Amino acid sequence: MTHTSQRHLAFAMSFTAAAVLALVLIVPGHAQDKAKPAKQQTSKTYQRPTDPSLYVGAETCKTCHADMPSKDFYKHYEDSPHFATTLDTKKGPEWHGCEACHGPGKEHVEGGGDKSKIFAFKNASAKEISERCLGCHTYGDEHSNFARSAHLQNNVSCVDCHSPHHPKESQGLMKEKQPQLCYGCHQETSQQFNRPFHHRVNEGMVQCSDCHNPHGGFLNRQLRATSTQDLVCFKCHSDKAGPFVFEHEAVKVEGCTACHMPHGSSNPRLLKRSQVNLVCLECHAFTVDAGPAAIPTFHNQAQKYQACTLCHTAIHGSNTNKFFFQP
């Protein structure tokens, strides 16, 4: 079998599987939605019970939780953006206040504060937690892929980064500032940003979330893209985006990380190698790109060619010169 036919077979199989699964699911899934009472649903997707009699309202919660589990607990909640849900007069009680997240509280209240009768985030799985949060926060590109994100797939939930009740950062209710929050798990990136040459993340100029979407995405490493769906690097390094008459094709095809270490490097310009000529020669060896063979001293590495970019200045692409001698 040729590579092309193997490729088509692989894509055909995966698409067929996805399509069949979707079709099998859609009709009965919708039907179940209407047939079953909300409380009896066994689906992983959390559905808010809509019976108003199950809810007690935030003021009732306040009677016990004014200072419990910590001092001014309810006051902090009143100051938080989530409190605005209590002011919504259009939606039902399942969207209001404490019970919008923790679920109906009637049984909890009638049980004298029985913790088993209310949803507590502390011991819930990441999926359960994310379903509660995404019930409201699923809007837009930002959160729409969280179900397939590397974070959720590794049991990292919303409340591992966000703290609705005790945020250190009021915006986004974050548990910690970036990048310290991210370094908590991604220790290897901490050392990269502490190399001599690095993007200014520790300095507060750039944030991890400028390049990565922590809530998931369609690109590798949960990378964001520019507004024109180009490599995210081009948002700041716009002069490298082109298009150029003479493209350095590896830039567009393999991406910036073919030559650069995006977080930080021991090498200037975040290059993968300490000697610029070796960055080039690792690809431009063995072919005529290494230099005209008839003039063996032309690119004599013993003289001035330590940095190919001294001459090939427009190495990311040029509109005027196929050797990248000028922009």
Partner 1 sequence: MRDSTRTSRQGFLKLDVLRCIGLAALLVCSVGVARAQEEQELTGVDQGNYNIKQSIEFGGRLVSVKGDTQTYDTFTNLQQGPRLLGFSTEMTSLNHHGTLFDRLSFSNFGYGGDPNDVSRLRMSKNQWYNFDALFRKDQNFWNYSLQANPLNPATPAFANAPAGFTPIISNSPHLMNTRRKLGDYSLLLMPQSRVRFRLGYSRNINEGPAFSSIHQGTEQLLFQDWKTTVNTYRAGVDFRLFSRTNFSYDQIWNNYKGDTGATDPFQLFSLSNGQGVDIGVSLNAGANQPCAGTFNGPPVGDVNPACSAYFDFFRHARTRTSAPTEQFSMQSNYWKQLDLSARVSYTGGDANMFGYNQSFDGRESRTSLRNDLIAGNAMGRRVMATADFGATWHITDRWSFLDSFHFSNFHYPMEFDSSECSFFSANLLTSAKIFTPLSTVPINCTGPADGTAGTPTHSASSAADVSVFLNSNFLKQDEKTNLAEVEYQISSKAGARLGFRNRHRAIADDFFSASTLVYFPGNANRGSCALVAGALPPGCTANGDGSFTFVTPSPTTNPSEEQINEYAGVFGIWAQPTANWRISFDADLMSADNTFTRISPRQSQEYRIRSKYRPTSWLSLDGSVRIWEGRDNVDQVNNLQHDRSYGFNATFQHEDKFAVEFGYDYNDVFSQILICYVSSTAPKGLAKCPGVIGLVQQLSTYTNTSQYGHVDVMWKPLHRLTAHLGADLTGTDGSTILLDPNAVPGPLNSKWLKPYAGLDYRLGKNWTGRAYWGYYGYHEDLTALSQDVFAPRGFHANTTTLSLRYAF
Which of 40-48, 50-58, 59-67, 101-109 is the region at the interface with partner 1 (rule: CB under 8 A)? 40-48
Q: Does 79 bind partner 1 (CB under 8 A)?
A: yes
Q: Does 291 bind partner 1 (CB under 8 A)?
A: yes
> According to CB under 8 A, which residues from 99 to 158 bind partner 1?
123, 125, 127, 134, 138-141, 144-145, 147-148, 150, 153-155
Measure the CA–CA gap between 193 and 183, rounded to whole angstroms: 10
Q: Does 310 bind partner 1 (CB under 8 A)?
A: yes
Which of 37-45, 51-59, 60-68, 111-119 is the region at the interface with partner 1 (rule: CB under 8 A)? 37-45
324 contacts 315 by C-beta, under 8 angstroms = yes
Measure the CA–CA gap between 131 and 147, rounded to whole angstroms: 9
Q: Does 205 bind partner 1 (CB under 8 A)?
A: yes
Q: Does 35 bind partner 1 (CB under 8 A)?
A: no
238 contacts 251 by C-beta, under 8 angstroms = no
How do beta strands 246-247 and 264-265 pair?
unpaired
Pick 68 or 250: Cβ nearer partner 1: 250
Pick 65 or 272: Cβ nearer partner 1: 272
Q: Does 70 bind partner 1 (CB under 8 A)?
A: no
Measure the CA–CA gap between 224 and 235, rounded to whole angstroms: 10
Pick 53 or 303: Cβ nearer partner 1: 303
**Phi, psi at residue 295, to the nearest 5°?**
-120, 75
Measure the CA–CA gap between 326 and 319, rounded to whole angstroms: 8
Which of 50-58, 60-68, 109-117, 232-240 is the region at the interface with partner 1 (rule: CB under 8 A)? 232-240
Cα torsion 309, 311, 313, 314 to 10°: value is: -110
Tokens at 45, concatenated: 């997707």
* Contacts of 199 by beta carbon, 8 Å cutoff, 6+ apart: 193, 206, 262, 263, 264, 270
Which of 50-58, 59-67, 106-114, 228-236 is the region at the interface with partner 1 (rule: CB under 8 A)? 228-236
CB of 60 to partner 1, least distance (A): 19
Pick 8 or 110: Cβ nearer partner 1: 8
